[in-house]
Amino acid sequence: MKEVSVRTNSRIGMIDITSKIRNAVEELEIQNGVCTIYCPHTTAAITINENADPDVVSDILMKLNKLVPYQEGYSHMEGNADAHIKSTLVGCSEQVIVENGRLQLGTWQGIFFFEFDGPRNRRVWVSVR
């Protein structure tokens, strides 16, 4: 397994970590298998989506914020219930096929780290099996 560090700069954000994951896969030196990209945090998430047009990222963040507002009479004392809910909606991991040492992503696909309660120093775990 490899651990990748992600520094987030705002409360909510969607950070393209594709190149970091590619580097981790190279370092693991496993030619064929399935790469799991796992986020060990309860207020962050992992997704795969378009990394060509940055408007896709801003549209996704805008819609998630409308679906799950920051403050809405939640019970959770820590004050970040929206972040926990967004994390569960998006999910904490993704899997990508690795063939001949390369991540098999579609032309327009990138791997993104979602921050929902930043800024923070975050970690992502990468494994190929």
Residue ranges in contact with Zn ion by CB under 5 A: 78, 80
Task: Report residue 84 as tokens.
Answer: 């926990």
Residue 75 or 107: which CB sits closer to Zn ion? 75
Is there a contact between 16 and 90 (Cβ–Cβ < 8 Å)? no
Q: How far is the CB of 91 from Zn ion (least distance, A)?
A: 18
Task: Report residue 21 as tokens.
Answer: 């994951």
Residue 78 or 99: which CB sits closer to Zn ion? 78
Among all residues, whose Cβ is closest to Zn ion?
78
Is there a contact between 117 and 11 (Cβ–Cβ < 8 Å)? yes
Residue 24 or 43: which CB sits closer to Zn ion? 43
Q: How far is the CB of 89 from Zn ion (least distance, A)?
A: 15
Distances (CA, A) of 32 to 22, 57, 126: 14, 30, 14
